[in-house]
């Protein structure tokens, strides 16, 4: 029940987060000064927190969406299956977020 609203809330967050995506792409197309401004923001504490939140929202929405797919196809409606899918989305979303950030820092994105 609560997890159903989380799918929506992460969707809304991703909706707003596209502004960051557009800012990043337009800045890259604009030039070094504009791009440095984006990097200064994403490198700041609050910026990094927002990008971390965006990563989690994306990963959770992805897995939660796959869960909806399974239901659309007519599977996973038994109580224990529903529980498993919901927990898989929750734990999987957090795990993928941590994994992506470890990879990002490992390849030098943290500089």
Kindly list the residues in this chain that would bind another protein in the complex (CB under 8 A): 8, 11-12, 14-15, 18-19, 21-22, 25-29, 31-32, 34-36, 62, 65-66, 69, 72, 100, 103-104, 107-111
Output the CA torsion 35→41→43→48 (10° steps): -130
Give the nearer residue to another protein in terms of CB position, either 12 or 79.
12
> What is the distance between the alpha carbons of residues 68 and 90, in angstroms, rounded to a whole number?
14
Q: How far is the CB of 80 from another protein (least distance, A)?
A: 25
> What is the distance between the alpha carbons of residues 73 and 42, in angstroms, rounded to a whole number?
39
Give the nearer residue to another protein in terms of CB position, either 80 or 111.
111
CB count in 10 Å sphere of residue 66:
14
Q: How far is the CB of 11 from another protein (least distance, A)?
A: 5
Q: How far is the CB of 95 from another protein (least distance, A)?
A: 15
DSSP class of residue 47 equals H
């Amino acid at each position: 029940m609560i997890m159903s609203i989380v799918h929506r809330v992460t969707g809304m967050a991703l909706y707003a987060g596209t502004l960051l995506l557009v800012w990043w792409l337009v800045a890259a197309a604009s030039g070094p000064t504009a791009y440095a401004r984006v990097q200064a923001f994403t490198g700041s504490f609050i910026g990094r927190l927002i990008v971390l939140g965006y990563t989690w929202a994306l990963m959770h929405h992805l897995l939660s969406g796959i869960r909806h797919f399974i239901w659309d196809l007519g599977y996973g409606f038994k109580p224990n299956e529903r529980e498993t899918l919901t927990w898989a989305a929750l734990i999987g979303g957090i795990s993928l977020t941590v994994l992506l950030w470890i990879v990002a820092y490992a390849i030098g994105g943290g500089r």
